[in-house]
Amino acid sequence: MNPLPAVPMERVLWRVDHIWGPEMAPHHLLYGMSGSGKTTLIKSLLGLCPDDRVLIVDPKPAADPIWDGPAGEPYRWGKPVTAITPMFGYDGEAGGGPRGMWYRLTGGPDRPDTARRLGAALDIVGAEGNVVLVLDDVREICRQLGLAAAVDSVMNLGRSAGVCGVLSATETSYVAGRSQGGMVWIGHTTGLSAARSGAELLGWRGRERQDTCAALAPHQWIFSEDQPDNAGPCIVTGEPRPQIPARLNG
């Protein structure tokens, strides 16, 4: 079996920038264990969306400082909010990001309340469309919070409603929307079972392919997509380097 081709991250992101959209490949699925570099990769993908309305759904019980912006730009990766309202980003209330249209919906220790708030936000996204939706830990959202049906519904709206998604997962057994991943990123895991799950997301079978997934180091990725003229799965070389224009007024 020929080894996977190695492609620089910059080249892969160039390709993503040309195919990522509701009509072509609306959704990414990122799979890897905690510490594999999923959030760093998400930030690099958001670098392709400076003018888009973005909602990052972070279900963790406590605030995650990895999403905090640098000093002087606390909302660079989205303004933290506990709820969104219809027409968020268009209603005059400034958010974060380069154009004031990025929001980060945070979870809390009250899990039923978190489920209610996140479910209401998914309903708004489904009704309005035209948003880049980032689900940071889709397993938590689907299993612990019981929102699998809502996630599936929104993912199915990609083409018709202008929803582009980024689904981040540490395991796949409870991942709603897994069949919707037109672009798949497989990252670092530990254990044969986890490597097998990564290989399966790529449509692979066999121990040799599982070993390829198992050998990935943190911040290393296998990238695959299903659009015409793709070169097949590749090993991405070089770590993502998130670069977002500074927030102009926040």
Query: Is 244 within a domain?
Result: no
Query: Is 246 within a domain?
Result: no
Domain that holds residue 33: 6-237
Q: Phi first, then psi: give them for residue 79, nearest 5 degrees.
A: -80, 125
Q: What is the pLDDT of residues 96-128, one digit of tens each?
A: 999 999 999 999 999 999 999 999 999 999 999
Q: Convert 41-80 into a string of H (helix), E (strand) and C (coil).
A: HHHHHHCCCCCCCEEEEECCCCCCHHHCCCCCCCCCCCEE
Query: Is 12 within a domain?
Result: yes
Q: With 90 as the cut, is the pLDDT of residue 65 above it? A: no
* Look-up of token digits 């605030």: 63
For the domain that residue 91 is a member of, what is the CATH number? 3.40.50.300
Query: Is 247 within a domain?
Result: no
Confidence band of 221 (pLDDT split at 50, 70, 90): very high
Query: Is 92 within a domain?
Result: yes
Confidence band of 3 (pLDDT split at 50, 70, 90): confident
Query: Is 151 within a domain?
Result: yes
Class of residue 40 by CB neighbours under 10 A (exposed 0-12, middle 13-18, buried 19+): middle
- Can you read off the two tokens belonging to residue 225? 């997509």
Query: Is 213 within a domain?
Result: yes
**CB-facing half-sphere around the CA of 31: CA atoms within 13 A:** 30
**Domain count of the chain?**
1
Whole-model pTM? 0.92
One-letter amino acid for residue 158 of the chain: G
Query: Is 97 within a domain?
Result: yes
